[in-house]
């Protein structure tokens, strides 16, 4: 049965069957093959997998991000990042990194960030004399880092699948994100030191600073509300999502007055479609996970690795590799949803903290999204910069190397991930 | 336009409207729940359950609408490079996975609905058959979109490989 299940899934996947249908179809074929378990488990497991109040955080965070994006916040956040770090050596690249931290603090989706950030920052870097491939590469690197900045849809989904507190995951993402951002900014500074063409400096006046800060107050109040509520333990992630949507509606309809009925309909339809796909993936994956564990697959795979070495290092390295590659090939989130049922039971057998493992998984997915030649985020960034992925790749590799090094730091230094949630009493 | 594609288009339009309406109500309910709990200090007992079930329906309709719009997560790197014969095999495999999965959704899902008519949910005393019904109904809708897409242009080539940028990635 395991063979029919896994082989069926891989064959369907390669044949371009949508991932949710490939998971569901392979599960049904495996059940028919085995003939003992009734097909009734299919709707039952899917329903149980998606019948959860915390999952409502997904449409809420998608919706809040879309509302803010349609309200034209990108330009305001970029301007703020610019007065903060834009005047440093290599500062225009650093602006992208800092702006992405603000962005991902509002939107839960990495690819959405890439397109919002790319649309404003790639033309700005081009005007400053940066080549198109370099501009696209910097946006890619910054967005890959941004996946670790909460709120993040991947964290919500992982939290539910792994039964880990979503608030703890949100808190755990901050420090790794800041470390990766710091490494990237140091690299941009060094690059600008070596190559004078990358230096663009204009020191903002105190007045510029004040006006940029003033204009960014409305968008930045959203992450303040979200994290203030979640990290102080007042709100659950779902409740914070609801507050974010209410605030987004207030901003879009009342304060900036850019969202009308028709626009709201489009935004809601988009949200229903995206979250519907995520929900069906979660449902079919929980059916798949149930079948895998009924066949003791994760146990046997762990035993196989344990026969080589008993420590977690080999397992973590292999897991990193699988997550990185699948994250690139399967557009991030679907890869994570598929990997959790297999890798998480293995991680627990190797005594890896599920909270730490989730952040490692998500960090890898973030880098994978920008891995040439297939990472979806990279394809989006290259399209916005009107360059080919092959042109961006050589400029991107040094940044990817920095990001992968950070991922290894995150992997083998659990303290970095666990200290903030521990300090806040979330674990 | 054939009768099938006309029916498909009409169903798709209704599906979009209902998905948007259900999502709007779900979101409103969760916002209300937060408002009652933190501002009025009196929690609503029914809103969480209602929001969960409404969202399951909204999600199923949203997924079905993505099938119709041909915007699903998929892996197209191999299939795109295949010659014509390979593409036909891919369509056959797509049909096999879809028919198998939809069969289980519709038939077993239907059995689940039939078996839970008298069972009620804990908070709002809703017959559990109603939320469960999202699965077989979704199965029928997805099946209709699938059939209509087979009747139309080629399934593999006409369909965009990946969901175009829609904030899905992560």
A39-92 pLDDT, tens digit each? 899 999 999 889 989 999 999 998 988 888 888 888 888 888 988 888 888 888
B86-125 pLDDT, tens digit each? 888 888 999 999 999 999 999 999 999 998 888 888 888 8
* The pLDDT of residue B155: 44
* The pLDDT of residue B1: 66
| ipTM metric | 0.87
Residue B120, phi then psi, degrees to nearest 5: -120, 155
* The pLDDT of residue A199: 67
* The pLDDT of residue B157: 40
Instruction: Give this prediction's pTM.
Output: 0.88
* The pLDDT of residue A141: 95
Residue B42, phi then psi, degrees to nearest 5: -140, 105
Q: What is the mean pLDDT of chain A?
A: 88
Does B163 have pLDDT greater than 50?
no
Least confident of A74-78, A125-129, A296-300: A296-300
* The pLDDT of residue A286: 85
Which residues on chain B are in Cβ contact (under 8 Å) with A25?
Answer: 96-98, 100-101
Does A396 have pLDDT greater than 90?
yes
Q: How far apart are the first and last CA of chain A?
A: 38
Q: How confident is the model at residue B159 (pLDDT cuts 50, 70, 90)?
A: very low
Tell me whether residue A321 is exposed, middle or buried, using C-beta atoms within 10 angstroms of its C-beta: 0 to 12, 13 to 18, 19 or more: exposed
Does A399 have pLDDT greater than 50?
yes
Residue B5, phi then psi, degrees to nearest 5: -70, -30
Does A227 have pLDDT greater than 90?
no
Which residues on chain B are in Cβ contact (under 8 Å) with A243?
Answer: 31, 34
Average pLDDT over residues A116-140: 90
Of residues A427 and A267, the one with the higher pLDDT is A267
Which residues on chain A are in Cβ contact (under 8 Å) with B16?
Answer: 269
Residue B127, phi then psi, degrees to nearest 5: -60, 130
Average pLDDT over residues B130-150: 92
Q: How confident is the model at residue A198 (pLDDT cuts 50, 70, 90)?
A: low
Residue A157, phi then psi, degrees to nearest 5: -65, -45
Q: B86-95 burial string, b = 16+ CB within 10 Å, else e?
A: ebeebbebbb
Inter-CA distances, A321 with A343, A374, A399, B78, Å: 12, 16, 18, 21
Nearest Cα residue in chain A from B80: A16
CB-nearest to B90 from A16, A26, A374 is A16
List the single best residue of A4, A17, A146, A384 to mutate versus B (max B Cβ within 10 A): A17
Of residues A16 and B160, the one with the higher pLDDT is A16
Q: How confident is the model at residue A183 (pLDDT cuts 50, 70, 90)?
A: very high
* The pLDDT of residue A29: 92
Least confident of A128-137, A290-299, B1-10, B86-95: A290-299
Which residues on chain B are in Cβ contact (under 8 Å) with A51?
Answer: 52-53, 56, 131
* The pLDDT of residue A201: 63
If you write DSSP's letter for every residue of A378-415 in order, what string do you get? HHHHHHHTT--HHHHHHHHHHHHHHHHHHHHHHHH-HH
Q: What is the DSSP letter of B35?
A: I
CB-nearest to A21 from B24, B77, B101 is B101
pLDDT > 90: percent of chain A: 38
Average pLDDT over residues A417-424: 91
Position of tokens 């069906």?
A: A280
* The pLDDT of residue A236: 87
CA distance A367 to A375: 9
List the single best residue of A47, A249, A273, A288 to mutate versus B (max B Cβ within 10 A): A273
CA distance A306 to A298: 12
Q: What is the mean pLDDT of chain B?
A: 84
Q: Residue B141: which of B102, B95, B97 has the closest Cα?
A: B102
Candidate ranges A308-312, A360-364, B147-151; pick with highest mean pLDDT: A360-364
CA–centroid distance for B170 within its chain: 19
Average pLDDT over residues B28-57: 90
Does A389 have pLDDT greater than 50?
yes
Residue A252, phi then psi, degrees to nearest 5: -70, -35
A87-109 pLDDT, tens digit each? 888 888 999 999 999 888 887 77
Does A299 have pLDDT greater than 80?
no
């Amino acid at each position: 049965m395991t063979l029919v299940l896994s082989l069926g899934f891989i064959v369907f996947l390669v044949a371009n069957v949508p991932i949710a249908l490939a998971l569901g179809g392979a599960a049904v074929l495996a059940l028919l093959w085995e003939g003992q378990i009734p097909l009734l488990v299919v709707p039952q497991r899917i329903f149980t997998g998606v019948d959860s109040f915390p999952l409502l955080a997904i449409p809420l965070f998608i919706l809040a991000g879309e509302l803010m994006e349609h309200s034209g916040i990108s330009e305001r956040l970029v301007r703020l990042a610019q007065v903060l770090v834009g005047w440093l050596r290599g500062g225009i690249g650093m602006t992208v990194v800092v702006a992405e931290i603000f962005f991902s603090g509002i939107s839960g989706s990495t690819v959405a960030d890439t397109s919002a950030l790319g649309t404003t920052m790639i033309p700005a870097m081009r005007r400053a004399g940066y080549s198109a491939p370099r501009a696209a590469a910097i946006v890619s690197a910054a967005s890959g880092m941004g996946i670790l900045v909460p709120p993040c849809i991947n964290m919500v989904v992982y939290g539910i699948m792994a039964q880990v507190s979503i608030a703890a995951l949100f808190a755990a993402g901050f420090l790794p994100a800041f470390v990766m951002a710091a490494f990237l900014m140091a690299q941009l500074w060094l690059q600008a030191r070596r190559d004078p063409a990358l230096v663009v400096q204009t020191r903002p006046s105190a007045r510029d600073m004040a006006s940029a800060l003033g204009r960014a107050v409305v968008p930045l109040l959203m992450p303040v509300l979200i994290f203030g509520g979640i990290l102080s333990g007042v709100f659950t992630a779902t409740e914070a999502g609801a507050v974010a949507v209410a605030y987004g509606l207030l901003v879009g309809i009342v304060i900036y007055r850019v969202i009308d009925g028709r626009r709201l309909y489009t935004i809601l339809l988009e949200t229903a479609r995206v979250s519907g796909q995520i929900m069906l993936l979660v449902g079919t994956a929980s059916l798949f996970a149930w079948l895998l564990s009924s066949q003791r697959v994760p146990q046997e795979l762990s035993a196989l690795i344990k026969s080589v070495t008993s420590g977690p290092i080999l397992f973590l390295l292999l897991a990193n590799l699988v997550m990185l590659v699948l994250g690139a090939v399967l557009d991030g989130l679907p890869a994570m949803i598929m990997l959790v049922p297999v890798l998480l039971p293995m991680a627990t057998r190797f005594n890896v903290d599920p909270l730490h493992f989730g952040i490692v998984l998500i960090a890898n997915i973030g880098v994978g999204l920008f891995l040439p030649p297939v990472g979806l985020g990279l394809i989006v960034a290259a399209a916005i910069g009107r360059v080919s992925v092959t042109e961006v790749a050589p400029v991107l590799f040094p940044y990817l190397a920095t990001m992968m090094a950070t991922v290894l730091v995150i992997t083998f230094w659990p303290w970095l991930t666990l200290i903030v949630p521990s300090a806040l009493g979330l674990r | 336009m054939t009768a099938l594609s006309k029916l498909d288009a009409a169903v798709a339009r209704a599906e979009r409207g209902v998905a948007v309406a259900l999502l709007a109500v779900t979101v409103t309910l969760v916002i209300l729940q937060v408002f009652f709990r933190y501002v009025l200090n009196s929690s609503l007992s029914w809103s969480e359950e209602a929001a969960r079930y409404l969202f399951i329906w909204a999600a199923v309709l949203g997924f079905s609408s993505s099938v119709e719009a041909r915007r699903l997560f998929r892996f197209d790197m191999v299939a795109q490079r295949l010659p014509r014969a390979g593409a036909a095999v891919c369509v056959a495999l797509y049909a096999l996975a879809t028919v198998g999965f939809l069969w289980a959704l519709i038939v077993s899902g239907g059995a689940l609905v039939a078996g839970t008519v008298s069972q009620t949910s804990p908070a709002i005393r809703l017959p559990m058959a109603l939320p469960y019904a999202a699965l077989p109904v979704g199965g029928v809708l997805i099946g209709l979109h699938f059939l209509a897409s087979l009747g139309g242009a080629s399934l593999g080539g006409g369909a965009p490989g990946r969901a175009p940028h829609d904030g899905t990635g992560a």
